[in-house]
């Protein structure tokens, strides 16, 4: 479903993604893990046509995002790291707008919105302005929205960031349910190892722009001789904290971005 070969992307001096290759097969839940600044988001951006790779090959359902971006976009749904809803519109209107942008025919649109909002327990709140939603409700709405156009692949970039355990649990139960009933392939990133352990069929760990390990959760534990995925992750990526460097680089990027040529 996703085929990636020797993917490269450099920002200035930083090799954000440095020769990454992997395959995701249809119907599986694939977790892409790594510390901050490891290249997760850049990889997702390249897979989802938002950033052009410097070199390497990508195939999404057999199509190249560079040459057929619109066809690729129709085949995936995405939940970004940061929220991307319109708070001044209601939940239903956000869904409807998405349906129109993705050319979902009017008749199926309403049915599907009702079904998805039902699954994510938001149907009763469909006419509430999204700005009044809690963090967990917003996330669920975004996932429901990402699935509205029946994509083959669902990208989830840290979907549970900032949610309480109850919301996280509910969210993953629903995602698993949809993976099974709609056969949608799921590509996710997260910092919560227990989540990856619980839902992912296969895992790849990326660090410094390169994939350092891959396999099922059990395989990674066996490979590193640890008894938890968290232990395996720390063993593979080290226990130094990456936040500071990433933050300074981010700040510089922000300053440089204020006025873009």
Partner 1 sequence: MSAIYILWLRELKRYSRSRAQILASLGQPLLYLLVLGFGLGPVFQRAGQGSYLQFVAPGVIGMSVLFTSIFSGIGLLWDRQFGFLKETLVAPVPRLHIMIGRTLGGASVAMLQGLLILVVCLIAGFRPSNPALLPIGIGVMALVAIVFAALGTAIGSTLQNMQGFQLVMNFLVMPIFFLSGALFPLDGLPAALAVITRLDPLTYGIDGLRGTLIGMTHFGVVSDIGVLAVVASAFMVLGAYSFSRIQV
Residue 14, interface with partner 1 (CB under 8 A)?
A: no
| Residue 177 beta carbon to partner 1: minimum distance, rounded to whole angstroms | 24
Q: How far is the CB of 187 from partner 1 (least distance, A)?
A: 15
3-class SS of residue 145: helix
Collect all residues with Cβ–Cβ distance below 8 Å to 88 and sequence separation of at least 6. 129, 130, 131
Cα distance between residue 41 and residue 32, in whole Å: 10
Please report how close the Cβ of residue 94 comes to partner 1 at its closest, in angstroms: 9
Residues 6+ apart with CB under 8 A from 167: 134, 135, 136, 139, 140, 160
Closest distance between partner 1 and the C-beta of residue 73, in Å? 4
- Give, in order, the Cα–Cα distances in Å from 81 to each of 155, 219, 256: 10, 28, 22
Q: Are 42 and 52 within 8 A, CB to CB?
A: no
C-alpha distances in Å from residue 45, one per residue of 68, 90, 100, 144: 15, 28, 23, 20
According to the binding rule CB under 8 A, does residue 73 interact with partner 1?
yes
Interface stretch with partner 1, choices 27-35, 83-91, 158-166, 167-175 (CB under 8 A): 83-91
Q: What are phi and psi of 66, to 5 degrees?
A: -75, -40
Kindly tell me which of 105 and 225 has the beta carbon lying closer to partner 1: 105
DSSP letter string over 93-117? HHHHHHHHHTT--HHHHHHHHHHHH
Q: Residue 213's beta-bridge partner residues?
A: 205
Looking at 47-55, 158-166, 172-180, 192-200, which segment touches partner 1 (CB under 8 A)?
A: 47-55
Among 72-80, 169-177, 182-190, 220-228, the segment contacting partner 1 (CB under 8 A): 72-80
Q: How far is the CB of 16 from partner 1 (least distance, A)?
A: 14
Among 14, 50, 212, 234, contact with partner 1 (rule: CB under 8 A):
50
Which residues 86-115 are close enough to bind partner 1 by CB under 8 A?
A: 86-89, 93, 96-98, 100-103
Shortest CB 209 distance to partner 1, Å:
20
5 or 93, CB closer to partner 1? 93
Task: Please give the order of strands across the beta sheet that includes 153-157.
Answer: 76-79, 153-157, 185-189, 29-33, 202-207, 210-215
Q: Distance between CA 259 and CA 249 in Å, rounded?
A: 17
Q: Which x/- pattern over 131-170 shows residues binding partner 1 (rule: CB under 8 A)? A: ----------------------------------------
Question: From the CB of 92, what's the least distance to partner 1, in Å?
Answer: 12
Sites of contact with partner 1 (CB under 8 A): 45, 48-51, 69-71, 73-74, 78, 80, 82-89, 93, 96-98, 100-103, 254, 257-260
């Amino acid at each position: 479903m996703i085929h990636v070969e020797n993917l490269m992307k450099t920002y200035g001096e930083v090799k954000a993604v440095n020769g990454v290759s992997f395959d995701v097969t249809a119907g599986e839940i694939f977790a892409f893990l790594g510390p901050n600044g490891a290249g997760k988001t850049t990889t997702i951006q390249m897979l989802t046509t938002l950033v052009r790779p410097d070199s390497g090959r990508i195939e999404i359902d057999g199509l190249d995002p560079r040459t057929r971006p619109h066809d690729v976009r129709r085949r995936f749904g995405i939940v970004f790291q940061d929220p991307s809803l319109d708070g001044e519109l209601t939940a239903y209107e956000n869904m409807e707008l998405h349906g129109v942008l993705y050319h979902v025919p009017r008749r199926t649109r309403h049915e599907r919105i009702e079904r998805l909002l039902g699954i994510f327990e938001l149907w009763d709140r469909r006419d509430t302005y999204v700005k009044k939603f809690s963090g967990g409700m917003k996330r669920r709405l975004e996932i429901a929205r990402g699935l509205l156009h029946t994509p083959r692949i669902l990208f989830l970039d840290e979907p549970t960031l900032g949610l309480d355990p109850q919301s996280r649990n509910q969210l993953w139960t629903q995602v698993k349910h949809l993976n099974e009933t709609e056969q949608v392939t799921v590509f996710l990133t997260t910092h919560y190892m227990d989540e990856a352990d619980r839902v992912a069929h296969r895992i790849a760990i990326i660090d410094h722009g390169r994939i350092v390990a891959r396999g099922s959760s059990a395989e990674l534990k066996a490979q590193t001789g640890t008894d938890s995925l968290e232990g395996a992750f720390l063993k593979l990526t080290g226990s130094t904290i990456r936040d500071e460097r990433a933050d300074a680089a981010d700040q510089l990027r922000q300053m440089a971005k204020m006025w873009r040529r």
